[in-house]
Amino acid sequence: MNSVSRSSLVIALGILLLALPFVVRSALTEWRTSSYRPVVSGQVELAATPEPTPTAVQAPREPSAPVTHLRRGAVVVDLAHFNMVSPSQFQALSAQLAAHGIALRFWTNPTPMANVDKTNLAGLPDQSDQLATQLRDAGALVVVSPLFLWKDSEIAVVERFVADGGRLLLISDPDIPEVPDRFLRDLNRLAERFGVVFHDDYLYDLSHNDRNFTHVYQSQFQDRAAKLQGKTIVFYGVRSLSGPIISQVRTGETVQSSLRSGLSGFTTVAIAGLSANRSTGRVLAMGDFDVLTEPYVSRYNNRLMLEFVADFLAAAQREQELADFPAYLGARVGLTFGGDLPLDAPFLAQVSQLQQLLQTSGRTLELLSLHDVVLTATMAFSASKASTETSQSPSAADSPPLNDLIYVASYEAAERETTLLSDAGIRLTEITPTPTFSSTAPVTPTYTGTIAPSVTPNYGVLGTPSPGSTVASEGGILGLLSSPEATPTPSPSLEERLVPTSTLTPTPVATRALETAFSPPLLLDDTILILRRQLPGNKQVTAVLGGDLAALEAALNRLVAQNFADCITRPDAMICPFEFEESVAAPEQPPSASPTPEAPTEEPAEAPVATETPSVPLGSRGDILVVDDNRTATTEDASEADLYARTLEEMGYTPTLWFTESDGDPTLQDLVGYRWVIWSRGTYRGEPAQTKTLAALALYLERGGRLTISGRTPVLGGSNRPASVIADVVLTDEIPPLVVGLSSSTITLASNLPPAVPLGAQWGDDTKVAMRRGPNSADADAPVMVALESNNASGEGVRRVIILGMALNWLSDGDAAQLVRNMATWMLER
């Protein structure tokens, strides 16, 4: 090997040695990473066979409805506090209650949820009036997880309801959360009044449950729920209860609370109530709502739990009092008038409303002649002749018995024909005020001016039985009604009473009064008396008594409107004030009314409403009177009357504005001076009109007047349904002249409008509907604007009425002005 070769070999060897460590290290790296030995752990066996669709079992047999003449008191479900439940969840309970002949009724809040401030849970307006109306004929109330706070006044209504025998079901379910903590506090606010406290927990069972740890089996059934012992009842998300309660259902030892750690055996269903508010045993509290709903109610024996709840609700026995009228009446009710009262149109209208009220509740009102009603000491009354004949017809074989009578009479007639007053410890008498008395009692002059000499002889027998009547003293019950041959004592007619006489004297004269055992004498003309008398044979009489026809109208109005707010109430008697305003007999001229040469200047010409022919010719003062009925207006309410007046002025009219707050209600004399009267309430809250005002409006129409009623609480034409929100209105083609020129066939109103009373749905053939509530409104399709045109009773005049059941100024300015123009054309220019 030469030196060159050798050197090359050495260099190559050197290079090899140079690279060898790199190669060896790289090879070692691969070798070392493969030294890892993983832990062999196998795989978890997780395969699971799906459960097949279960074989269907026979559904429970449909129960047959009980045969009853009158539906039992409904179960009212509170949804008015935006409870986080839906009506569909009550279907199972509804079906179960139907087996008892009981309906479920939802009490809702007409305000859209979107318009409610959900951040202020105390901000919901007081709904106690609506609640009282809902509960009047109800047997039970159900409250499930309200979102908004119950007001104290609402809770007071519930307390009275339960004290009267109503049942209360309170449910707080932990899986109706939405606003954690708040809803529970809200329900406890109500529940604590009855001794129930719902805990802010949920119960769970990790070892024995129905597919989920919150689906817990109930283990102990006690007291009224003892019949469920041995059955499988599962609650699906339930919270625990405590307080002075009688536990009905409890959980087992393995069930734990999310909050009340360390405890077991929790009460989930309990009977509650406190003697302090007479609610003992009338309140049922539950910590789960799901068990009453599908599909949970169909699992295991849960339907027995539903039956338990329905039985509890159905067992309500309301102690109906007079204030609950007509809830205590049976399916057939007779109506008879005592004495020989001259019945005028407004009075008959009140009777008609009474009939509608009874029909709404499934009752019938039958007019009975006084001669068909025989009141005896033992049977109290029975229907004879026509009623008996009717009951004998095959079709009427199942008609309910006539056990209830409404007796409407003046005090004199009642005392003469019945012993109602004496049985109630009341007798008619006369009082003669002394000078001392008259100086401190300003009422005396009023009454001296309203008693006509022609009625004086009648007072001579007050306080003693009249010659034509006989008082049955046995048993203290209602005595004999007048026999056919009895001659009634003359009683003052309304006209006689209202016409001021020229015999006024400053000398104190006798004043009629009611002498009672429980109060000083009550001035007869100031008092309305409604009595309820229970009679043998499960019969009863409701007596409506007043000093005269106007008082009786007012009394019937109170019954129909169930307005006893200012009355002294007893379970069987209602003593209400009646004020016959002097302005009826001697109306004053309103400051804003245009004086005319024809304006009456003498008192006799200012005849009262119920008397005939006013001296002012129709339309003699002007074309249009716009009555701004602003008595209940607030500073936030915009005047609708201004809108009417402004548009009419633009049309060339000179309407007269009248403000009821400052001018009082216009009388018939005031009304007949105008061809067209617009009675505007607009957005005002409104209040029931006085009888004399309604009578004046009726008589104005009878004289051929044209009348527009307008507002969300119309003075005439409203239904008995609660106010609800109008979101849109739809025009009809029934009366095109009234809707011509409006912007659209469907007019969408602004949001956040206050609720409006729906107009009545039953109108005569002469009435046409020009607008209805749109599909997005509550009470959709209810009339919003109706128009009536017909001849008056004499056939000499045409009366026209438009009732707009909303505020005109809810429409756009253009539509509102167009509507007023249409009204004016329809009213005056045809």
Partner 1 sequence: MRPRRWRIGIEIIFLVVCLAIGLVLSDRFAPRPIIGTVRFEGLIVSPSARQMWNILEAARRDPRVAGIVMEISSFGGDASSSENLYYAIAKLRQEKPLVVVIDGEATSGGYYAAIAANKIYASAAAAVGNIGVWMSRPADPMIVPDVLSTGPYKLGGGSRFDNIRQLEMVKDAFVASVLHERAQSPYNPLRIDERVLGEGHIYLGNEALALGMVDALGGMSDAISDVAALAGVEQYEVRDLTEYLGLPFQPVDPFQMLATLRHTLPGEVLLLDTRFIALIGPEYEATFSGIANGAASFGEKRP
Which residues lie near partner 1 (CB under 8 A)?
3, 6, 10-11, 13-26, 29-30, 32-33, 35-36, 38-39, 41-42, 44-46, 48, 51, 84-86, 88-89, 113, 173, 175-178, 206-207, 211-213, 215, 289-290, 293, 295
- Count CA atoms closer than 13 A to 576's CA, side-chain side: 28
Closest approach of Cβ 113 to partner 1, in Å? Answer: 8
Q: Where are the alpha helices (DSSP H) in 241-316?
A: 302-314
> 234-236 and 215-221 as β-strands: parallel, antiparallel, unpaired?
antiparallel
Closest approach of Cβ 300 to partner 1, in Å? Answer: 12
Could you give the C-alpha distances from 800 to 214, 675, 701, in angstroms and in order?
Answer: 66, 10, 8
Closest approach of Cβ 801 to partner 1, in Å? Answer: 41
Considering only CA atoms, give the Rg of the chain: 38
Nearest partner of 325 among 530, 145, 124, 522, judged by Cα = 530
Closest approach of Cβ 11 to partner 1, in Å? Answer: 8
Question: At 706, which amino acid appears?
Answer: R
Closest approach of Cβ 301 to partner 1, in Å? Answer: 16
236 or 684, CB closer to partner 1?
A: 236
297 or 657, CB closer to partner 1?
A: 297
Closest approach of Cβ 2 to partner 1, in Å? Answer: 9
8 or 473, CB closer to partner 1?
A: 8
**Could you count the other beta carbons within 10 Å of the beta carbon of residue 273?**
25
CA distance 575 to 598: 43
53 or 487, CB closer to partner 1?
A: 53
Q: Decide if 586 contacts 603 (C-beta within 8 A).
A: yes
176 or 554, CB closer to partner 1?
A: 176
**Secondary structure string (H, E, C) spanning 486-522:** CCCCCCCCHHHHHCCCCCCCCCCCCEEEEEECCCCCE
**Tokens 């003309």, residue?**
525
14 or 591, CB closer to partner 1?
A: 14
Closest approach of Cβ 22 to partner 1, in Å? Answer: 4
CA distance 630 to 625: 15
47 or 67, CB closer to partner 1?
A: 47
DSSP assignment of 723-748 equals: PB---EEEE-SSSHHHHTT-S-SEEE
CA distance 673 to 615: 10
33 or 635, CB closer to partner 1?
A: 33
25 or 61, CB closer to partner 1?
A: 25
Angle between helical axes of 152-163 and 182-191 (0-180°, round to 10): 40
Closest approach of Cβ 178 to partner 1, in Å? Answer: 7
Closest approach of Cβ 701 to partner 1, in Å? Answer: 46
CA distance 144 to 527: 43
39 or 565, CB closer to partner 1?
A: 39
213 or 564, CB closer to partner 1?
A: 213
In three-state secondary structure terms, 455 is helix
193 or 215, CB closer to partner 1?
A: 215
113 or 750, CB closer to partner 1?
A: 113
Q: Is the dihedral of CA 453, 455, 458, 462 positive or negative?
A: negative
DSSP assignment of 352-419 equals: HHHHHHHHHTT-EEEE--GGGB---TTT---B-THHHHHHHSGGGTTPPPEEEEEEEEEHHHHHHH-S
Question: At 812, which amino acid appears?
Answer: S
Q: Decide if 155 contacts 193 (C-beta within 8 A).
A: yes
Could you give the C-alpha distances from 325 to 133, 165, 206, 329, 430, in angstroms and in order?
Answer: 11, 16, 54, 7, 31
Closest approach of Cβ 10 to partner 1, in Å? Answer: 5
115 or 212, CB closer to partner 1?
A: 212
Closest approach of Cβ 106 to partner 1, in Å? Answer: 13
Task: Read off the tokens for 240.
Answer: 């625990």
Could you give the C-alpha distances from 439 to 88, 508, 513, 579, in angstroms and in order?
Answer: 66, 11, 19, 20
Nearest partner of 798 among 786, 807, 789, judged by Cα = 789
Which residues lie across from 141 on neighbouring strands?
Answer: 76, 168
14 or 577, CB closer to partner 1?
A: 14
Closest approach of Cβ 63 to partner 1, in Å? Answer: 25
> 622-628 and 573-577 as β-strands: parallel, antiparallel, unpaired?
unpaired
Give buried/exposed letters for 650-688 (b at 16+ CB in 10 A, else e).
Answer: ebebebbbbbbeebbbbbbbbbbbbbbbbbbbbbbebee
Closest approach of Cβ 25 to partner 1, in Å? Answer: 4
Task: Read off the tokens for 586.
Answer: 């001697």
Which residues lie across from 696 on neighbouring strands?
Answer: none
Closest approach of Cβ 212 to partner 1, in Å? Answer: 5
CA distance 164 to 318: 6
Task: Read off the tokens for 539.
Answer: 């019969």
- Terminal C-alpha separation, the chain: 142
Closest approach of Cβ 112 to partner 1, in Å? Answer: 12
Closest approach of Cβ 214 to partner 1, in Å? Answer: 10
Q: Where are the alpha helices (DSSP H) in 469-604?
A: 494-498, 549-561, 582-585
Q: Decide if 791 contacts 815 (C-beta within 8 A).
A: no
173 or 324, CB closer to partner 1?
A: 173
- Count CA atoms closer than 13 A to 582's CA, side-chain side: 11
232 or 654, CB closer to partner 1?
A: 232
86 or 662, CB closer to partner 1?
A: 86
CA distance 548 to 342: 10
**Tokens 């009248």, residue?**
658
